[in-house]
Structure 1
């Protein structure tokens, strides 16, 4: 019988984005409906399988993003689709990588659900690109998100602090302005998709905060102090405001946790 960690690794080792999404839906349904019941202990790969395209470039070599015209829209949507594809793998990786911690089922429920959301987001963005005569892989992308995963593979608290609570939370800060720019440029297709992603990401950030707090409590630590300690070690450059306090509050993200790390203070 397939275990959840085996299912996670099957997704991680699948290079084809469409099949990765299909497998995510199938395994998430099997877990939710009780056909997968055991967590198992299958070790995930250091890196997920990837298609031959897009070409991965260093972040500093990535073309400047535009918001105007079809070319600019394709560039933006492609970048977002790449983030979502990585996020599918991040959801499954967190399920399989930390099995030794004996976490509650609710933890795995949350991250399987996150992976499922990210698959839906990727397919939605891929559909938008298709309407514009493009597809995922047509443009270069960077590997920053998975590099963050590699740097936090040794500690779940670090993974939660850096990925959902910092990188995904940054999306809550920037997405409304992006939607506004696109709307002012006459784009009526992309903002509704970004609004769906934005609201789902609030739940993902909330899961990060919830399980970071759970782990801090389990270890007898003050959660805020633990977050600041992890960030000092793993994200020493600090955070960049301005912050979307309303969206972060919806994610139950305490304002003093992140605001005190604003490097512009």
Structure 2
């Protein structure tokens, strides 16, 4: 269920209305709120359709779903709580969570001097000072969401990638783009691997210990690297699969532009915090890895596979490990990082929710009535080894992942055959693998491997 709670500026009244415009499915969560003689209306940013927040009616004849809501004292504990009308069509539903959403970005860290070298590798350099490139290119500026997606994927500077993401999402939400562009025969093709600056080399960072100041910096750097890849993954799923799935509704692009914006926010918060606690090791000065993009390469031919592996395995695993990571920072006395990680974790629940929503949608489009079996099939083909716990059952369930999805699940990607040795024991022969259980995929960085 997708609704938005809107607080009227005049009378502090709370309204609840569906978050998708009934015209073409545009995201109404950032609609303009206007007061008129008949009441308060939400104005869709795409085509300026207005909807009365009390009745859902529009002058165009369309009608959005609205729900009765009131704030009253709960007799059980004497606290003020929000009570909303149950949607029609059954009682098998519940409000999973009601929380404020932080959209605050951190200020970018100061520019990095080119003479700071990595403590792990004296040959590795962070991103250097360069002539500033504009957020909007001076020539051939993008006019569609697909063009912005490919431009951002081809943007090597991570700070510029963040700024371009913020700008593109703003244009999309406010209806200032010509179109999404995924139905155009001239839609640009995304790169096989997003651009990275020459200073970033593929390497594995071990974030096992975060108690000391130095190791907290290592952990923050590793987390920021994951978020940079996550920005690209959100844009890539739109640019790669939008043109091949022209029936994808606008709500799909609303969900994944939100995801791209969230990941950009996370990256900005983490890199700013890294600069604050360890100025000598700015982002780009430590080894990084590309394991997320290895999975993107494995799933590059199938939207269903991409949603299953990236959003319902990788991101769901984040829900499992984030609480322990937060607790480590808390024990280290790093309350500022704890606050950042709590924002990230809450956002990631919504990302897994989106993955589940669109995985289910793709299954329905091809006539698959059992998304659980379809998911387990995709993991079997696109993952190697067990989907390991312990699982954060509560937050997985908030996102729609019941234990039937993931319990006792094992991937068999790369399994070639099973030989029988003389003593009768089976020996599995597997394809070349990387240390994280994924097929080995070469990722190039400006000509370096």
TM-score of Structure 1 vs Structure 2, range by shorter chain: over 0.9
TM-score (ref. length: structure 2): 0.56
CA contact (8 A) 1:31 1:37 kept: no
Q: Does residue 51 of structure 1 match 2:51?
A: no
Q: Which residue does 1:123 correspond to in 2?
A: 268
Where do 5+ consecutive residues of structure 2 fail to align? 1-141, 182-186, 412-449
Q: CA deviation at 1:64?
A: 5.2
Q: Which residue does 1:225 correspond to in 2?
A: 373
Q: Which residue does 1:79 correspond to in 2?
A: 222
CA contact (8 A) 1:54 1:136 kept: no
Greater strand proportion = 2
Quickly say closer, same or farther: Cα 1:137–1:65, change in 2 above 3 A.
farther
Distance in 1 between the 2:393 and 2:352 partners? 13
Q: Which residue does 1:101 correspond to in 2?
A: 245
Distance in 1 between the 2:206 and 2:271 partners? 20
**178-187 or 152-161, larger mean C-alpha shift:** 178-187
CA contact (8 A) 2:207 2:218 kept: no
Q: Which residue does 1:112 correspond to in 2?
A: 257
Q: Describe the superposition over 1:126-152 as per-residue Cα deviations: whole angstroms up to 9, x where unpaired.
A: 110110213111110111011111111
Distance in 1 between the 2:288 and 2:322 partners? 19
Residues 1-265 of structure 1 aligned to structure 2 (within 5 Å): 2-40=143-181, 41-57=187-203, 59=204, 62-63=205-206, 65-99=208-242, 100-102=244-246, 103-132=248-277, 133=279, 134-221=281-368, 222-261=370-409
Distance in 1 between the 2:207 and 2:173 partners? 41
CA contact (8 A) 1:231 1:238 kept: no
Q: CA deviation at 1:55?
A: 2.4
Runs (4 or more) in structure 1 with deviation over 3 Å come to 62-65
Larger radius of gyration: 2
CA contact (8 A) 1:86 1:145 kept: yes
Distance in 2 between the 1:238 and 1:2 partners? 44
CA contact (8 A) 2:295 2:309 kept: yes
TM-score (ref. length: structure 1): 0.95
Q: Describe the superposition over 1:82-139 as per-residue Cα deviations: whole angstroms up to 9, x where unpaired.
A: 0000000000001110122120110011001100000000000011011021311111
- SS of residue in 2 equivalent to 1:44: coil
CA contact (8 A) 1:55 1:137 kept: no
Greater helix proportion = 1
Q: CA deviation at 1:69?
A: 1.3
Q: Describe the superposition over 1:133-190 as per-residue Cα deviations: whole angstroms up to 9, x where unpaired.
A: 1311111011101111111110001001110111111110011011112211222221
Distance in 2 between the 1:247 and 1:63 partners? 26
Quickly say closer, same or farther: Cα 1:258–1:37, change in 2 above 3 A.
farther
- SS of residue in 2 equivalent to 1:209: helix
Relative contact order (alpha carbons < 8 A, sep ≥ 6): 1 or 2 greater? Answer: 1
Q: Describe the superposition over 1:55-100 as per-residue Cα deviations: whole angstroms up to 9, x where unpaired.
A: 222x4xx445321111011000000000000000000001110122
Where do 5+ consecutive residues of structure 1 fail to align? none
Distance in 2 between the 1:126 and 1:146 partners? 20
Distance in 2 between the 1:227 and 1:63 partners? 30
Q: CA deviation at 1:3?
A: 1.2
Q: CA deviation at 1:262?
A: 6.4
Distance in 2 between the 1:148 and 1:51 partners? 21
CA contact (8 A) 1:164 1:204 kept: yes
